[in-house]
Structure 1
């Protein structure tokens, strides 16, 4: 694996993406930078979000994390995946199967990263900051351990 994945933060990214899609009807992030202590996701967006929306987003992500969702994966034929998922970020056209990561019944998407086994391992999701510039909404976040 070429990237250095941080399983708990990468799993939090999945839940954030699922929440952004359900709350705002936008696409999943087009760029992400995932680190141990803090991470960021960039979304194509038409406007800044309000403070109220940021609080609601953080709360909605935490609601999903507190559901103790099991994180699973399945290998699926590419033809079947094309019917269900956006595959525009795949590295090549000669793939016959693809790995789909499921966060309980909440989120599913193609992914090569490492993940935790259950969202209960993530602790509290916190939005550190967010800003909007030239059609890009950037959300910076961290997960605060329950310890």
Structure 2
């Protein structure tokens, strides 16, 4: 069965990942489960997130969403993409081009998913909960629709 994408939540995941990388210097999530009402991302992390950090993370994601960033795609030759992006999760070695999704000037990464056209379509990003266990930080979130 094909993977189902929820464009506004999937695009919010990109912003969350970019924010985690910029705030904490960690890698993008290694596992994500994206649904219409709630989603989760798992990160390799060395400690629990503090309540103050969670508030700051949520605020930083919302700051980017409020910038009304355009979401665009670009097709790059694999050789060029390898110089700029982590391609370790690619399913095959025989790929010659790859799709890169750009969210304004904030985040860019390889992706096959569906996205909104602009971050103004996402609404408010809300962290529902987070926990830490054995090197895995899990962040659960939802997006309250824009009014």
Structure 1 length normalisation: TM-score? Answer: 0.99
How many residues of Structure 1 are paired with residues of Structure 2 in the alignment? 147
**In the alignment, which residue of structure 2 is the partner of 1:104?**
104
Counterpart for residue 88 of structure 1:
88
Q: How does 1:65-144 map to 2 (within 5 A)?
A: 65-144=65-144
CA distances 1:2-60 after superposition (whole Å, capped 9, x unpaired): 21000000000000000000000000000000000000000000000100000000000
Looking at structure 1, the residues matched to 49 and 140 of structure 2 have their Cα atoms a distance apart, in angstroms, of 13
**Aligned counterparts of 1:142 and 1:78: Cα–Cα separation in 2:** 33
RMSD: 0.8
Unaligned runs of 5+ in 2: none
Matches within 5 A, 1:40-55: 40-55=40-55
- 1:62 aligns with 62
SS of residue matched to 1:49: coil
How many Å separate the matches in 2 of 1:145 and 1:4?
Answer: 19
2:146 equivalent in structure 1: 146
Name segments (4+ residues, structure 1) moved above 3 Å.
none
- Say which SS state the counterpart of residue 47 (structure 1) adopts: coil
Q: State the alpha-carbon separation in 2 of the partners of residues 117 and 81 from structure 1.
A: 22
Q: CA deviation at 1:146?
A: 2.0
d(CA) in 2 for partners of 1:128 and 1:60? 15
Q: Say whether the 8 Å CA contact 2:40–2:139 is kept in structure 1.
A: yes
Query: How far apart, CA to CA, are the structure 1 residues paired with 2:27 and 2:79?
Result: 21
TM-score (norm 2): 0.99
* Equivalent-residue separation in structure 1 for 2:41 and 2:9 (angstroms): 11
